[in-house]
Structure 1
Amino acid sequence: MPPVVRRLPAYEPPVGMPAVIPRPRPRPVWVPVPEPPSPELDATRLVWVVLEVLDGRRSRRLLREVAVPGLAARLGGTVRVRATRMVRAPRVCHPSRFVAEISVTIRREGRAFAVAARAEHRSGRWWLTTFSVLE
């Protein structure tokens, strides 16, 4: 087969004309599809129910409605009569769509404490899976 000779495109501008520099095409950029928002979470209610049970103001049975069974059993054994109040609204962080980490400051017996909790969305509801009062 004989060699094929092709004419090269002009690479020098014509004399007296301004040079036109070809610009490279922008490359497509991958944009991830945004994750849908997390289901609605009432963190104040979840934390407040547990605190009321721990203070002896509500029945221990209520823990079964907001916490997983292992956590409900553990928290049910730590009930004492005392007065607790929240200092401010809970702060909520969503590490993933169906997980929420909750922190709140409470006052109990004249002292300030921190509460840390983790909630997971299962079976159409938010359930507390971890709850601890940091002293």
Structure 2
Amino acid sequence: MRVAVALQTLTIFLQAVSAGVLLSSSHGELLHGVGARVMYGASMLYVLAAVLAWRPGGGSPRPIAYASGFLVLASAQVVLGIAHVPSVHVPLGVLMFGLSVLVLARQNTGAADGRVLSGGSGPERS
């Protein structure tokens, strides 16, 4: 799960970089288009990882909802990008990056699955 979310976060960040290139170069459109496909694939990988972590691993189904939400947002991003609606496309991309960073941070601290890493004032980690 962590790898899938990290990959998704990285690809969303690279989309922001390629958007800057898009504004300043004729090669930016190709780079941004390829990046969109990679980001969408990373979002699908996140859904797959969430399902695999839930079913065989006995984890919480909540990450499946998060991953599915990201896939819906990624789908909206693709549609808005193709339709050339930057007034929604750009803020949605910023929102997606922020949410992806938040999920990644929660996973790295254990908060996503109910574990707490505060100095002893929470459930014990096993």
Common fold by TM > 0.5: no
**TM, length-normalised to structure 2:** 0.26
Greater strand fraction, Structure 1 or Structure 2:
1
Return the index of the structure with the highest Cα Rg: 1
**TM, length-normalised to structure 1:** 0.25
Greater helix fraction, Structure 1 or Structure 2:
2
